[in-house]
Amino acid sequence: MKKRIIIYAILIAALAVAVLYAQRTDIQTSIVGPGGKPALAVVDFRGAGAAQPFMSVFNSTLYSDLQASALFDLKPKSMFPLNNPQTPADLVAEDGGKGDALQDWSGAPVHATHLVFGYAGVVNGLFVIYGNVYDARQQDLQAAKLFAQNYPDSLDEGGAARAAHKFAADIIQRFGGSGSLLNSRIYFISSRGAAAKFGTELWVMDWDGNNQKQLTHLGGQMAYPAISPDGSRLAATWWPIAGGQPRIDMINSQTGRTVPFYNQLASLNAAAAFTPDGKKIFYASSPTGESQIYSADIDGRNFSPVTSTHGTPSEPKVNPKNPDSLLFVQGVPNEQIYKMNAEGAGIERVTNGEGEASNPSWSPDGQHIAFSWTRGYAKGEFNIFVIDIGSPDHYNQLTHGEGKNENPVWGPDGAHLVFTSTRAGRTPQIFTMLSDGTQVKQVTTQGSNRYPVWGVQ
């Protein structure tokens, strides 16, 4: 009898360990996609006639986008067979390993699950990509076809890059990516273009750091921007250079001009966040003398208090999939991340009380939170962590003391994060990385650059 009880106890304990392990690893698998990574063989596309000069741009952009998605295991081209198919008509049942049969790609040494192939031509002066994705494991060619799509664009390098972005976005979406970085932009606050000491302006760039340009010319000091879900507006905190209380400026993301916004009569109005429908904002304000979180219409009217705590609550962040679920940060004795509903009820601490935790950012699926945390490091030495909102005790540390790493924000693909780091020097710069902490890339180098947000165009 005793022996049986011991066996049961061991089995229960093993089960508990297995459950805990499953929860811990759930973060990783949900980020990189269910069922493991598809193994893609992406052949180099060739161009017919006037399209050929732009194929280098196309091929590198397509590969880069697919790799950046973190959804795929991209097979090395050095392993590819001799022949690269360009059209479905090139595929045959068996060719002796030359590359025109699907099994040439699914078998050794490539071991791809899918084959991405096609070519470019010029039609009516347009650069046109004829793209295909086939399941290399299928015997039947019709069954193997996953999708085929044409992508026309302008006959230049920009057109080739855009066509590659669109093709990559379709592939990513087909393989379960929750969104695409196509047409996404990173907005950030930069010291560039501001003459006065402490002056900063809002800037925008492509997510890979290209096309950086100054968006606002307000002549003050700006911080803590938020982007509306449709990408049309930004709400940023702004001070006059000569001195004055911080207020919220609502800014047109295309023109950089301010649009009307009513600020409460308060010593501060700051750190705004949009609701998923883009019709309301939450922000911190202090009309009663003590800063609290308020909600208001998009023009600042119809404001009302949400919190009534004494911990200086700030940084409200609304779950993109649940407008009644908010995160915020408050101190006393040390700043931690809390959650509550849209009415300020049901306040619970999310982080475990260690160190200082701040800058929460919801993943697009509303399941994960990226945030800054000093756990394991000295005061102020923030690193980026990711937790599953369902099991906040299990965290994934993405940075490890390479300078201060703050303000993580998810990309619309749910796989990338943009953040600020001082790893390149005392002056903060903007970096991107995958949500597992790999593929870290510095995307700004000039001036001081902070407070990135990732929006769609």
What residues make contact with other proteins under the rule CB under 8 A? 198, 221, 223-224, 237, 239, 242-246, 267-268, 270-271, 284, 286, 289-291, 312-315, 329-331, 333-335, 356, 358-359, 372, 379-380, 382, 406-407, 426, 450-451
The minimum distance between CB 300 and other proteins, in angstroms, equals 18
Closer to other proteins at the Cβ: 259 or 265?
265
Residue 244 or residue 353: which is nearer to other proteins going by CB? 244
Strands 247-252 and 258-259, by their bridges, are antiparallel
Closest to other proteins by CB, 180 vs 330, is 330
C-alpha 123/C-alpha 111 separation (Å) is 35
The residue among 45 and 373 lying less far from other proteins, judged by its C-beta, is: 373
Report the residue number, 330 or 363, with the smaller CB distance to other proteins. Answer: 330
Q: Which CB sits closer to other proteins, 163 or 329?
A: 329
Question: At closest approach, how far in Å is the CB of 363 from other proteins?
Answer: 20
Question: 357, 329, 323: which is closest to 342 by C-alpha?
Answer: 323
User: CA 57 to CA 154: how far, in whole Å?
Assistant: 13
Q: What is the DSSP letter of 43?
A: P
Q: What share of the chain is helix, strand, coil (3-state, %, to 5)?
A: 20, 40, 45
Least distance in Å: CB of 246 to other proteins? Answer: 7
Is 226 in a helix, a strand, or coil? strand
Bridge partner list, 406: 420
Q: What is the C-alpha to C-alpha distance for residues 457 and 254, in angstroms, rounded to an integer?
A: 9
Whether 134 contacts 124, CB under 8 Å: no
Rounded to a whole number of angstroms, the minimum distance from the CB of residue 54 to other proteins is 43
By the 10 Å C-beta count (0-12 exposed, 13-18 middle, 19+ buried), 441 is classed as middle
CB of 86 to other proteins, least distance (A): 52
Decide whether 330 or 444 has the Cβ nearer to other proteins. Answer: 330
What's the CA gap between 227 and 69, in Å, rounded?
A: 22
Rounded to the nearest whole angstrom, what is the least distance from the CB of residue 98 to other proteins in the complex?
A: 59
Give min distance, CB of 315 to other proteins, in A: 5
Largest CA distance in the chain: 84
Which CB, 213 or 426, lies closer to other proteins? 426
Q: How far is the CB of 414 from other proteins (least distance, A)?
A: 24
Q: Please state, in angstroms and rounded to a whole number, the distance separating the CA atoms of residues 346 and 348.
A: 6
Shortest separation between residue 135's beta carbon and other proteins, angstroms: 47
Cα–Cα distance measured from residue 86 to residue 405, given in angstroms and rounded to the nearest whole number = 45
Residue 249 tokens read as 């400026």
Cα–Cα dist 70/86, whole Å: 26
Is the Cβ of residue 151 or residue 224 nearer to other proteins in the bound state?
224
Q: Which residues contact 232 (CB under 8 A, 6 or more apart)?
A: 252, 253, 254, 278
